[in-house]
Structure 1
Amino acid sequence: MFSLLLVIIYIAFISLGLPDSLLGSAWPVMKDSFNVPLSFAGIVSMIISGGTIAASLMSDRVTRKLGTGLVTSISVAMTAMALLGFSLSRSFVVICLFAVPYGLGAGAIDAALNNYVALHYASRHMSWLHSFWGVGASISPYIMSFSLGTKLGWRGGYATVSVIQIVLTIILFATLQKWKNGKMDFGDSGKTSSKPLTITQAVKIKGVPSVLIAFFGYCALETTTGLWASTYLVEYRGVDVETEAIFSSLFNPGITVGRFLNGFIVDRFGDKREIRYGISTLTVGAILVGIPFKSEIFALAGLIVIGLSCANLSVIHATPSNFGRENLQAIIGIQKVSTYVGTTFMPPLFGLIANGVNIGLYPIYLAVLAVLMPTITETLNLSIG
């Protein structure tokens, strides 16, 4: 039963990753359908991010009341409805309206499943869980690309992923009992010995501010690296477009493969040592990107090192041991908020810096974020003993 439940959890995380790459893949065509500027993709993205943040902040209370299985099922149903709404929309305003349940569903399932796996399973399963998210995020551009190459168009791409989500919703509702027959769901029946924590109460817990800053820095570094790598390599380092495309395309799959491989070794090292190794290699990767040699091999290798290093951070799985099982859901919820804030605002911030100063500051920006993390995580280790 536990193995079947794990399969369900992994599939649910694939479904979480599926919608994440659709907007970027489809927007060049979508904008023409609605006759809106290219920049309007940012509006949709911000609405989705706002929904994920709101859902993460509510995750403790909602998951305690409904249980992880039901929250997961409802969340996937919401994203399925939102994706179907995207495919049927005839105006940009309607797209924005459907972006709300899109974000709420994604945020709820993300926080709930991270909490459940951190509470009940070994570190390797957390690593593999996020690897399966990468599988979903890697598949969806191909689905959209295929649809754009046929009469289905971008609407067909969204509809296809919606159908996949609908099928998964049916499977999740049909297997709800597995969550109760397997390991105990912290939210089952809504009965627990402790009350949900408010955001203020959670932040006041010793060490929580440190872990939030660490999450912010890590996610900011990962997304900034992925977004600006191509521009930096081509415009500043003079790497030819073909070579750049090959190496940049390895960044996200590198994270996915790294997380999968990391699952086989993380339990041997433990969460704290694994985090230290990951942050150390992240810093090395940022330095390699910035080494001012004429040969581009160091910068290209640095991107791969950063991608693989991002797989070696088990901060979420360490949450129960750091802050207690009873506080897990609340803290994971606000950790996810730090994630979304870092991914939403820090890459555009570097864009402003690159535009106003110089794109050559890219490796320095990454290095500052990389150095921030060991400073904060070691402060966290000292504060909690």
Structure 2
Amino acid sequence: MTLLLLLVIYLAFISLGLPDPLLGAAWPVIQEDIEAPLEAAGYLFMIISAGTIISSLLSGRVIKRFGTEKVTFASVLLTAGALLGFYFAPSIIWLVLFAIPLGLGAGAVDTALNDYVALHYKAHHMSWLHSFWGVGATLGPIIMAQFITGQQAWRNGYLTIAGIQFALATILFFSFPLWKRVAQNRSRTLNETTEEIHNEVHENTKHTKPLQIKGVKFALLSFLFYCGVETTVGLWGSSFLVNVKELSASSAAQWVSLYWGGLTVGRFVTGFVTFKWSNRILIRIGQIIALVGAVLLVLPFPTTFSLAGFIMIGFGLAPIFPCMLHETPTRFGKTHSQTIMGYQMALAYTGSTFLPPILGMIASHSTIAIFPFLIVIYIAIMLLCSEQLNRLLGKKKLVSKEI
């Protein structure tokens, strides 16, 4: 029973990842079809991200009132309706309108399922959960590429993804009794554990000022630029390949799907590698691999090197986000970890919301060829902040030993 529900949740997270890269993969064709300016994709992405932030902030109250299963069902239904709206949208104004429910639905699903798995399942289930998001993010551009090959039929790609979402909403609706049974089986133990954790956190975080802890600001900047890199590559990668490398829109979408594929495979692999290597080492290695991949996009090499660059960026980014989250209590102590975790997620959303449109605005006044240069800059800043944080933490350990 518990395993069956976990399968439903994994399917939900695959569906959560499916729409995320669609806009970037299809934008070269959408832009031409509706005669929109290049930077409009950045504005659409900002609207979707803003909806995600708002629904994430409000989801706690909503979940408490209606339950995880109902919120997840309603959110997937909202997302499916928004994607169907993209299929019918005759102009950029309608895309803007449907981007709002698309973001609201995605944020609620993300928060609801993360919270549920954290409460009802073990840590490794959470790790694989985010890998399944990568499966969806990889399949999304592949599905879109099949429709825009030769036909420019991006609308049919959105229609197909919308159909998948409606199918999942149906599965979620009929799984309601399953959620209740699993919750009833675990409720007594979870209530006791949750109450103990809440009391401990309330006492430990009282009267603290976590932003004054050395290294916190560098950690926040690392999250800002990580999410900036991940979303910027996903949003503008296809446009770069079409306009600079002169690939077809369908080929570009397939190449970008390999970026998401590298991210997905990397996270599966990371789950096993963590048994031998520390989070700090994996973060550093991932950042270096991503930086090398970005440099490959800058250099005037044959197009195949660009393919390798996209895969390397995805594979390099894979361990960074989950390892940075997991490292938070080790870096700053359990007393402050929950508060700092909230700050980190806020900066992560900020990076994914504002950094991709910055590239779009600059490119609209110059050229999309600046794409790899900005990616190199973002990754380099993230690496420098991470290493500065490691240096400060190293000094802190030395001081504590001397005392």
Contact 2:138–2:257 (CA<8 Å) still a contact in 1? Answer: no
Q: Which residue of 1 aligns with 2:180?
A: 177
1:219 to 224, 227, 244: 227
- % identical aligned pairs: 41
Q: Which residue of 2 aligns with 1:117?
A: 117
Q: Which residue of 2 aligns with 1:263?
A: 271
Contact 1:126–1:317 (CA<8 Å) still a contact in 2? Answer: no
* Cα RMSD for the two superposed structures: 4.7
Q: Distance in 2 between matches of 1:119 and 1:380?
A: 31
- State the shift of 1:48 in Å: 0.9
1:309 matched to 2:316: yes
Q: Deviations over 1:334-384 (max 9, x none)?
A: 644422321232244456778889958553442222221343477689999
Q: Which residue of 1 aligns with 2:350?
A: 341
Q: Distance in 2 between matches of 1:178 and 1:44?
A: 40
Q: Which residue of 2 aligns with 1:93?
A: 93
Question: 5+ unaligned residues in a row in structure 2: which ranges?
Answer: none
Contact 1:51–1:104 (CA<8 Å) still a contact in 2? Answer: yes
Q: Distance in 2 between matches of 1:33 and 1:263?
A: 42
- State the shift of 1:144 in Å: 2.6
3-state SS, counterpart of residue 272 of structure 2: coil
Q: Which residue of 2 aligns with 1:72?
A: 72
Contact 1:214–1:377 (CA<8 Å) still a contact in 2? Answer: no
- State the shift of 1:106 in Å: 0.7
Q: Deviations over 1:302-334 (max 9, x none)?
A: 764443232223244566887879996x87666
Q: Distance in 1 between matches of 2:225 and 2:350?
A: 10
Q: Distance in 1 between matches of 2:55 and 2:98?
A: 15
Contact 1:123–1:317 (CA<8 Å) still a contact in 2? Answer: no
2:282 to 259, 268, 277: 277
Q: Tell me: CA distance 1:8–1:35, structure 2 relative to 1, closer, same or farther (3 Å).
A: same
Q: Which residue of 2 aligns with 1:133?
A: 133
Which amino acid is the alignment partner of residue 341 of structure 1? Answer: T
Contact 2:80–2:166 (CA<8 Å) still a contact in 1? Answer: yes
Q: Deviations over 1:126-171 (max 9, x none)?
A: 3322221121122222333334459893333222212211121122
Q: Tell me: CA distance 1:269–1:54, structure 2 relative to 1, closer, same or farther (3 Å).
A: farther
Which amino acid is the alignment partner of residue 312 of structure 1? Answer: P
Which amino acid is the alignment partner of residue 89 of structure 1? Answer: A
Q: Within 5 Å, which residues of 2 pair with 1:244-255?
A: 250-255=258-263
Q: Distance in 2 between matches of 1:5 and 1:112?
A: 14
- State the shift of 1:29 in Å: 4.1
Q: Tell me: CA distance 1:254–1:185, structure 2 relative to 1, closer, same or farther (3 Å).
A: farther
Q: Which residue of 2 aligns with 1:62?
A: 62
Higher mean C-alpha deviation, range 219-228 or range 251-260: 219-228
Number of residues of Structure 1 aligned to a counterpart in Structure 2: 373
- State the shift of 1:16 in Å: 0.5
TM-score where L is the length of structure 2: 0.71
Which amino acid is the alignment partner of residue 253 of structure 1? Answer: G
1:18 matched to 2:31: no
Q: Which residue of 2 aligns with 1:366?
A: 379
Q: Distance in 1 between matches of 2:168 and 2:52?
A: 20
Question: 5+ unaligned residues in a row in structure 1: which ranges?
Answer: none
TM-score where L is the length of structure 1: 0.74
Which amino acid is the alignment partner of residue 345 of structure 1? Answer: F
